[in-house]
A and B are shown apart, each in its own frame.
Chain A
């Protein structure tokens, strides 16, 4: 019989993977957090049926997809980002891309080390202290749009760097 400690161990180890999946499907942080709560409840309810010989994450992600659809049914139509059909396409893309995602994240850590101080500062303001970037724009008399544009450039540069590293390491065709 599947025990509660086993569930806690697996969930705490893998919830980050499930969280990322939910965010792909529901790309608003608060909404995704709400869905993730529902997913955890559903997984706990279904835990007695879990086959411990099979991997946890794909099992959890199947329920996460269903919870995303249920959550969407409860929302006002105008609040939804993406159609159900596009959601299914994104789900398929995520599955195709998942084998390489860990390599991408590893490459990203290397790319972060290569950033200059000002790029690191923008990322720190945005991610280490969410919202501080807005305060920074206000305090410096700057334009929030320019600040977001700077961030956009840093993220685009990081994506290029990740792609380059993966090609160099033979993960992608050069």
Chain B
């Protein structure tokens, strides 16, 4: 005999996995609207899902970690695998100030918001002028190269010009050869930047900015531009278990992201993010992405048509007075 609880659980499972069909969504809504007990189960189920996410992602996985004997997972970086809450939590705290800080950094940075800031020190700038062709695949395992999903540097095309110079990066596909993710709406690109030895353990913040553009098209799709920074004390490696983005986030000292809707009007639009940098920082991971926000359902990895990136800048903002007594 069909158990109504089993059916409700099946619908809720599809809801949290975002695989609910329209008719199932209607069925779930009818059930929830008419059955107070189903609403309780909804609250319990979604909280269980959130708690599992927190147990496995935000905290030390500890005894709940997958078996070490389990299959090796390819080093995928599609941002569909980033814990969205990590993005949300980091971004949320920082948007409040119009910038992104790790929570510790926030208190530190407060006096700096009132004082006149020392000049920013450029750490990395990229206009995609010197490299042509495709990126490396997947998450970067070494500093100094662009990698990620399928994308390529191009000159002016479709009547659209780079933000500056003669080249820009075009997002091509929300996956890369070798990965071939069955479903993905995120076109990710990455760059590992080595922390300059000259800066030593100087404290301060790092700021990432980048310009994105989306060409007009005759459809109702909506996109967003995402910028993200991670401060790391070592290169990603299989030995350290940091060959996936969530694991890297867990290993990072600080992590901050900001995602903003992008207008599809063919104009260059900037997004930026800031975070604290600790004395242990040896590398900074830059993560930039073009994301389709709507529609979310996609039976195949997204093919981008007219989505670009240019003028990527990473700067160090030194802390003028690191003394805690100045807070």
A residues near B (Cβ < 8 Å) are 4-5, 7-8, 11-12, 15-16, 19-20, 23-24, 27-30, 32-34, 36-37, 39-41, 43-44, 76, 79, 81-83, 85-86, 89-90, 93-94, 96-97, 101, 104-105, 108-109, 112-113, 117, 120-121, 123-132, 134-136, 138-140, 144, 148, 151-152, 155-156, 158-159, 162
Contact of A136 among B73, B84, B295 (CB under 8 A): B73
Q: Is the interface of A mostly helix, strand, loop or mixed?
A: helix
Contact, CB under 8 Å: B61 / A155: no
Listed by A's residue number, 26 A-B pairs whose Cβ atoms lie within 8 Å are A11-B96, A15-B92, A15-B93, A19-B50, A19-B85, A20-B46, A24-B42, A24-B43, A29-B84, A30-B291, A41-B96, A44-B97, A93-B42, A108-B55, A120-B64, A123-B56, A125-B66, A129-B73, A132-B73, A135-B181, A151-B13, A155-B13, A155-B45, A156-B9, A159-B44, A162-B44
Known: A105-B47, A135-B76. A127 touches B40 (CB 8 A): no
Contact, CB under 8 Å: A132 / B93: no
For the complex with contacts A40-B96, A85-B33, A86-B32, 18 further pairs of A-B residues with Cβ separation under 8 Å are A4-B106, A7-B96, A24-B47, A33-B92, A37-B95, A41-B96, A83-B29, A83-B33, A90-B43, A93-B39, A93-B40, A108-B51, A112-B64, A125-B70, A127-B57, A128-B64, A132-B81, A152-B10
Contact, CB under 8 Å: B46 / A44: no
Closest 3 CB pairs of A and B: A124-B66, A33-B88, A44-B96
With A and B bound together, what is the CA distance between A132 and B247 in angstroms? 12
Known: A93-B36, A129-B73, A135-B74. A27 touches B46 (CB 8 A): yes
Q: Is the interface of B mostly helix, strand, loop or mixed?
A: helix
Contact of B17 among A97, A132, A148 (CB under 8 A): A148
B residues near A (Cβ < 8 Å) are 6, 9-10, 13-20, 25, 29, 32-33, 36, 39-57, 61, 63-67, 70-71, 73-74, 76, 78, 80-85, 87-89, 91-93, 95-97, 103, 106-107, 110, 181-183, 220, 244, 246-247, 259, 291, 293-296, 327
Contact, CB under 8 Å: B89 / A28: no
Known: A19-B85, A131-B181. A112 touches B55 (CB 8 A): yes
Q: Which residues of A contact B52 (CB under 8 A)?
A: 108, 123, 126-127, 155, 158
With A and B bound together, what is the CA distance between A113 and B63 in angstroms? 8
Contact, CB under 8 Å: A30 / B84: yes
Minimal beta-carbon separation of A29 from chain B (angstroms):
4
